Each structure stands twice: as C-alpha cells, then as structure tokens.
Amino acid sequence: MSGAFRKIDVAQGAMREIMCSRYALWAVDDLEGRFLIVDPTIGFRSHFNIAPRSENPVVVSAEGRNRIRQMRWGLVPGWAKEGQTMPRPVNARAETLSEKPMFRQLLVENRCLVPANGFYEWKTEGTRKIPFFFHRPDNALFSFAGLYDTWLSPAGETLVSYTIITTSTNELMAQVHDRMPVVLAREGEERWLSPVTRSPDELMEVLVPCANDVLEVHAVSQRVNRPGKDDGGMILPVNGRGMV
C-alpha cells in the first residue's frame, strides 16, 4: 500500500451495510484456460476468505484479448482527491449504476470479471448471524460482474481497484439475503467484457440473478468472520447443515 493511498480515507460507516463481503478463489491454476487469458497469472495463491482491501486477480479486456490484472477490492474513483474522505464501495447496485457519478462512466469503459469459486453471505436468525457458502455444484470457477478504476496520486503512484455488482435475489439466495452478486453465465461474460459499445439497457440484460440451479449453499464456520483466517476448512459444512 502506498503512502499516498493511505491518505484517501473511508467515510465512517461506509463499509457497514454491504453484502458479498467475502469470497473464495482457489482454482488459480485454471484461470488462464477458463477465461482465455493471454498472459500468465501473477503469482496469486489460493484464498478461502478474501476480504475487502485485499489485492486479487481481475479479468479485463485489452486490445481485444483477456488479461489478468491485480486489483484492490474496494473502488477508489480516478477523480478522487488525495486526502478526501469518501467510501470505497466493495459492491455496486446494478439498478443504479447509470445514475451514480462514481459508476456511470465505468459502466461504459471499465467493465471486468472477478473470478471466484464461491462466496459467503450471512443469514440473521434471532440474535445470531449464520454464515453460508454459495458455490457451484462442481466447485468450478465462475465470475462476478465488476467495474474498476485507476487512481493516480500526485506523486505518480497508481492504484487500480474494483467493485462487485449486486442485483436482486433468486429463490435460493432469498432464503439468506435480499441481494446477491451478479454471477455471470458464459455468454454474459462475453457480452460484459466485449469492447463493443453497449447501452446501459443492453448491459442490464446480463446484470440479473443467476438461475436457481447454478449454485448450491451450506452453512460454514463462524471463522469466516475473521479476515485473518484463510484455509480450506473455511468452506466446509458445519452442524450438518446443507441447504438453507
């Protein structure tokens, strides 16, 4: 983290009301083939508890080819001033992307895919919050729809950061939360990354809940609440609880 970047503060409470605040990516050796990457991966190891402010692989289209870039999770807009107090959103609502100054131009120019093998969400049961892990039945890689931006400090230091887009829920996700990340189908990935100029209405066609049979879910350990914990045990079912 650069010294200049530390001076861009987070507004108090900006990170509180978010969903999709943890995800997992362990099939890193499959990134190149799954997303048709033309350059090799960049030394990223498997992570089972990816948290905001971490550096992670993101897929972008450059000169008509897919490439991996390392980015920080939590969007810092390119127009942010050094020392400015502002949020660094880890999520962006699909329904309002074209209305928000932070996202409007990024929707046109800076779309990306965020690779993952699964993500966590919490269900409130009385006074408790139970973490659940959503993943494909075969645990294969998939992608979230994302946006990214590049911030340049007065000293010339560069920070590239991203946010994950959320939408309304499907029936599976509705049992846990009222929002879900946009999990793209293969055709949706191609449309989202395509350099062909698309209208916001066209892009909204892919920013929808995935089908109910795309993902499975089970309860996991409360250890996921601690960002410092990061191992394969994070994703294992607990208490015999499978489906919600």
- Asked if 206 and 188 count as a contact pair (C-beta separation under 8 A), the reply is yes
Phi, psi of 6 (to 5 degrees): -60, -25
**Where does the chain show beta strands of DSSP type E?**
23-25, 47-50, 55-62, 65-73, 91-93, 111-116, 118-125, 128-135, 142-152, 158-167, 180-181, 216-219
> Whole-angstrom Cα distance, residue 216 to residue 33?
24
> What letter does residue 126 receive in the DSSP assignment?
T
User: Residues 177, 145, 108, CA angle at the centre, nearest 5°?
Assistant: 130
Burial group, residue 137, by CB count within 10 angstroms (0-12, 13-18, 19+): exposed
> Whole-angstrom Cα distance, residue 179 to residue 167?
6
> Whole-angstrom Cα distance, residue 92 to residue 35?
23
CA atoms within 13 A on the CB side of 125: 11
| Cβ contacts of 123-130, under 8 Å, gap ≥ 24 | 123/175, 123/176, 123/177, 123/244, 130/219
Residues annotated as part of the active site: 20, 121
